[in-house]
């Protein structure tokens, strides 16, 4: 519609409604959002960079801070553990290199099952509640596992079980970060928002965490490794607090009401 292709836009929506509601989609679709206020937009070929900058840096700076915190902390947490786990198994548990893959399978399974089984709760219970809960719980579980590791209570098998449980929760938290930055900014720049915060989060966590933890593991110090885990846990708990304070309750709300389209300004 922003590009003046109203007829095609209506056809796309009507096709979606037919697939969901069946033959009566036309009647249902015409009145399906009777409580929503109409939004006026102006057609244009593109969104100027000036408007993108103003929306992300000035108008929605609190949401930008939220997106940065969620994306960067989950990237640090995820990469600090996942990309150094093989080193931990071999260095501290004496697992042969050829057997490391078997330990990663349950770890990967926890990653898949987490969002699959918990995902719907972000729509039913709510964004702020579930994002805060999963981030905080992931941080607490990591801190507890770090303490058990330092105390010598874990084996390669129980360490793997602990990581599997942690990432059952943490993968849902990580997925919710992408969900957040994709829906709290104006429609025209949702893709741009994901790209920006993914890039910044990857720079902070995807590059920094493996380098830091790789160096820590290279020292062979279990104490230093636990301190690193506690740092990652603290970041996740901090992100949970930030979400609880300034998070956006976006569930069951239209995107236009979460953030007004930039093309509707001045009308």
Question: What is the 3 state secondary structure string of the chain?
Answer: CCCCCHHHHHHHHHHHHHHHHCCCHHHHHHHCCCCCCCCCCCCCCCCCHHHHHHHHHHHCHHHHHHHHHHHHHHHHHHHHHHCCHHHHHHHHHCCCHHHHHHHHHHHHHHHHHHHHHHCCHHHHCCHHHHHHHHHHHHHHHHHHHHHHHHHCCCCHHHHHHHHHHHHHHHHHHHHHHHHHHHHCCCHHHHHHHHHHHHHHHHHHHHHHHHHHHHHHHHHCCHHHHHHHHHHHHHHHHHHHHHHHHHCCCCCCCCHHHHCCCHHHCCC
**165 and 70 part of one domain:** yes
Confidence of residue 261 (pLDDT cuts 50, 70, 90): confident
**230 and 172 part of one domain:** yes
Does residue 52 surpass a pLDDT of 80? yes
Q: Domain span at residue 104?
A: 49-246
Domain assignment of residue 44, yes or no: no
**What pLDDT shows up at residue 34?**
45
Say how many domains are in the chain. 2
Q: Return the higher-pLDDT residue of 173 and 24.
A: 173
Confidence of residue 25 (pLDDT cuts 50, 70, 90): low
**108 and 25 part of one domain:** no
Q: Return the higher-pLDDT residue of 18 and 32.
A: 18
Average pLDDT over every residue of 204-223: 83
**93 and 119 part of one domain:** yes
Domain assignment of residue 222, yes or no: yes
**130 and 14 part of one domain:** no
**15 and 110 part of one domain:** no
**17 and 141 part of one domain:** no
**12 and 140 part of one domain:** no
**71 and 111 part of one domain:** yes
Domain assignment of residue 260, yes or no: no
Domain assignment of residue 257, yes or no: no
**What pLDDT shows up at residue 12?**
93
**156 and 31 part of one domain:** no
Domain assignment of residue 265, yes or no: no
**What pLDDT shows up at residue 160?**
92
**133 and 24 part of one domain:** no
Q: Which two tokens stand for residue 118?
A: 């918990």
* Alpha-carbon gap, residue 182 to 196, rounded angstroms: 11
Confidence of residue 80 (pLDDT cuts 50, 70, 90): confident
Domain assignment of residue 256, yes or no: no
- pLDDT tens profile 132-186: 999 999 999 999 999 999 898 999 999 999 999 999 999 999 999 988 998 999 9
Averaged pLDDT of the chain: 87
For the domain that residue 180 is a member of, what is the CATH number?
A: 1.20.1250.20
**What pLDDT shows up at residue 180?**
92
**20 and 117 part of one domain:** no
Phi-psi category of residue 152: left, alpha or beta, with phi > 0 → left and psi -120 to 50 → alpha? left
**What pLDDT shows up at residue 72?**
93
Please say whether the beta carbons of 66 and 242 come within 8 A. Answer: yes
Please say whether the beta carbons of 184 and 66 come within 8 A. Answer: yes
**What pLDDT shows up at residue 247?**
94
Domain assignment of residue 43, yes or no: no
Domain assignment of residue 231, yes or no: yes
**What pLDDT shows up at residue 183?**
92
- pLDDT tens profile 225-254: 899 999 999 999 999 999 999 999 999 888
């Amino acid at each position: 519609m922003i590009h003046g292709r109203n007829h095609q836009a209506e056809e796309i929506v009507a096709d979606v409604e037919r697939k969901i509601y069946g033959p009566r989609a036309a009647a249902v679709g015409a009145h399906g959002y009777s409580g929503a206020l109409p939004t006026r937009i102006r057609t244009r070929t593109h969104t100027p960079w000036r408007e993108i900058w103003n929306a992300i840096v000035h108008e929605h700076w609190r949401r930008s801070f939220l997106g940065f915190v969620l994306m960067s902390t989950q990237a640090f947490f995820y990469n600090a553990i996942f990309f150094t786990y093989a080193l931990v198994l071999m260095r501290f548990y004496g697992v042969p290199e050829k057997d490391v893959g078997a330990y990663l399978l349950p770890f990967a399974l926890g990653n898949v099952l987490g969002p699959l089984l918990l995902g719907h709760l972000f729509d039913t219970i709510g964004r702020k509640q579930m994002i805060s809960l999963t981030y905080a719980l992931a941080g607490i579980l990591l801190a507890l596992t770090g303490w058990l590791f330092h105390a010598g209570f874990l084996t390669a098998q129980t360490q793997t079980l602990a990581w599997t449980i942690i990432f059952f929760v943490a993968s849902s938290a990580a997925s919710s970060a992408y969900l957040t930055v994709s829906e709290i900014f104006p429609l025209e720049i949702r893709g741009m928002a994901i790209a920006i915060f993914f890039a910044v989060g990857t720079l902070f966590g995807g590059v920094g965490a493996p380098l830091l933890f790789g160096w820590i593991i290279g020292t062979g110090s279990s104490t230093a490794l636990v301190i690193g885990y506690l740092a990652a846990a603290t970041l996740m708990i901090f992100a949970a607090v930030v979400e609880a304070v300034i998070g956006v309750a976006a569930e069951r709300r239209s995107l236009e009401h979460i953030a007004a389209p930039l093309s509707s300004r001045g009308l």
